[in-house]
Amino acid sequence: MAEISAIVLAAGRSQRFGRDKRLELIDATPMFLLTALKLKAVIADTLVILGPQDEVHQRLLCDRGLDFAVCPDAHRGMAHSLAYGVAQRPDASGWLIMPADMPFIQEATLLALIRASRRQALAAPVCRGRRGHPVWFEHAYYQSLCALTGDQGARSVLNGAQATLHQIPVDDTGCLLDIDKPQDLPDIK
């Protein structure tokens, strides 16, 4: 079995943002790319999931040497992209699943999740009493993750899991801050 894989979900259409938020610059780097680079810095096998129309995003990832896969059903919802991404890494020991609109995650949080992956089936950071991202799933959840459909992500897998979600206390609001609207940016820059 291979090492863990990080799956960055970047196939969304950014409808609430009003434009392609994935390309919104954070520290002179497109948001989705910054998120992927942060994961790649600690997880060698980082895979970014894009939609079929995302040629600009593909070029940006290629320029930085990042791996990506194009989900043909990305328009059908986040769960389709998540299932597709996990299916691209069937031999991973597990997957750290991360939305691309969370560029403020701290490396310490990612490292804590990697440590937890060695002994926990499921794990997620918790900051100020709220569960954040990314979420760790061990390989035992492969079939359940690959069967996901719709737009609810892996919530149904977590709700039906045999194992308890291990919560990792962190002091990292970046694990909670997803950028949904332009107004979300000024408060965190």
| Domains of the chain: residue spans and CATH | 5-184 (3.90.550.10)
Answer whether residue 149 shows pLDDT above 90: no
Q: Which residue has the higher pLDDT, 161 or 144?
A: 144
| pLDDT mean across residues, the chain | 91
Tell me whether strands 5-9 and 94-99 are parallel, antiparallel or unpaired: parallel
Q: What is the pLDDT of residues 122-138, one digit of tens each?
A: 999 999 999 999 999 99
Of 158, 163, 47, 40, nearest to 110 by C-alpha is 40
What pLDDT score was predicted for residue 19?
A: 85
What pLDDT score was predicted for residue 128?
A: 95
Ramachandran angles phi, psi of 173, nearest 5° = -65, -15
Q: Which residue has the higher pLDDT, 162 or 74?
A: 74
What torsion do the CA atoms of 147, 156, 94, 116 make, to the nearest 10 degrees?
180
Q: How confident is the model at residue 31 (pLDDT cuts 50, 70, 90)?
A: very high
When pLDDT is averaged across residues 156-173 and rounded to a whole number, the result is 87
Alpha helices in the chain (DSSP H): 31-40, 55-63, 78-87, 107-117, 142-146, 155-160
Record the tokens describing residue 147, joined without a space: 């069967």
Answer whether residue 34 shows pLDDT above 70: yes
